Amino acid sequence: HNLQRAPASDVLVFNDLAFDDAELTITRAGIPISLTEREYRLARCLFANLGRPLSREYFYERFWTHEEMTSSRPLDTHIYRLRNKLGLTADRGWQLLTIYGYGYRLESVAAGSEASVAS
């Protein structure tokens, strides 16, 4: 059997979450999490900017077309889904904070949660 793997450089690991940029998938402890492409890209963006506040405009410029930007609800809905699907809770080592009037910030709330490249 010819088992093909994505190059290790395509996979970023944050605690028990592994982001595979080649496949646009996230796994938790090896178990795939069902995400849309936009959810993957939003999550990847949040983790790439860990600890940095990101404005609503930042997300809309990157992930929505002008026609889709009729309200702020699409972003709020996607953030809600990501919190649930990825388990972005303090007991799992994450806190996805809403910054009133600005946007969102993902924070690590556990020791040893630095991003590392999977080998």
- Residue 79 maps to a domain: yes
Task: Tell me the average pLDDT across 1-22.
Answer: 72
> Residue 8 has what pLDDT?
54
Give the CATH number of the domain where residue 23 resides. 1.10.10.10
Tokens of 9: 């450089």
52: containing domain: 8-111
Quote the number of domains for the chain: 1
Higher pLDDT, residue 7 or 38: 38
Q: pLDDT tens digit string along 53-93?
A: 999 989 988 887 766 666 657 888 899 999 999 999 888 88
- Residue 119 maps to a domain: no
- Residue 76 maps to a domain: yes
- Residue 2 maps to a domain: no
Q: Confidence class of residue 13 from pLDDT cuts 50, 70 and 90?
A: confident
